[in-house]
Amino acid sequence: MACFIVPATEAIVTTIAAKVLAKKEKNMEIHHEGSSAGIVEKSHFSRKLGWLNNMLWGGSALLALEHVWHGEVVPWFPFLTAASDASSRAEMFHEMATVGVAMAALVTVTWAIMVLVSSRIEKREDTTASVSEAAAETVSTSDNK
């Protein structure tokens, strides 16, 4: 009926959050100019928030097409056929509260898992890099001796 409105609303919020975060990160980058690029790249959470934005906007747009296809969304006011009378309006709100919220939650949980996995990979790569760096340093100091 109108379940796609819930993830679309979340998409608006996360897009604004990503924009604000990107601005803050840019300011931080200027502040930390001269530090290694890896540190700056790793702190780019706004880039990861972009994944969620793409999933939410893409999913909502494609689901909106499905609703147009089934005649649930129309190009005239009130745009949702279910919003025309009280009983179907209640049904629509119930669907938004159940299916819509579940959709938004599932996409967000999937994104959170993606962020967790990517952070783990980044951490592992950092540890490997620092271990090999330390090993190279040890070799060079023993060579100097």
Partner 1 sequence: MTLLISVFAAVIATVVWYKHAPNDNWKVGTLALMYWGASLMWMCDAIFEYAELKEEFFQPAAADMLNDLFLGLTVVALGLVIWLVVLLVKDPKGVLRGKLLAKKND
Give contact residues for partner 1 (rule: CB under 8 A): 3-4, 7, 51, 54-63, 65-66, 69, 98-99, 102-103, 106-107, 110
Q: How far is CA 43 from the centre of its chain?
A: 15
Give whole-number Cα distances, 93 to 9, 38, 66, 80, 83, in Å: 14, 46, 18, 12, 9
Shortest distance (Å) from residue 89 CB to partner 1: 19
For partner 1, the closer CB: 66 or 126: 66
Of 21 and 67, CB closest to partner 1:
67
CB of 14 to partner 1, least distance (A): 12
Q: Return the number of the residue (28 or 51) whose C-beta is nearest partner 1.
A: 51
Helical residues (DSSP H) of the chain, grouped into ranges:
5-31, 37-42, 45-69, 86-95, 101-144
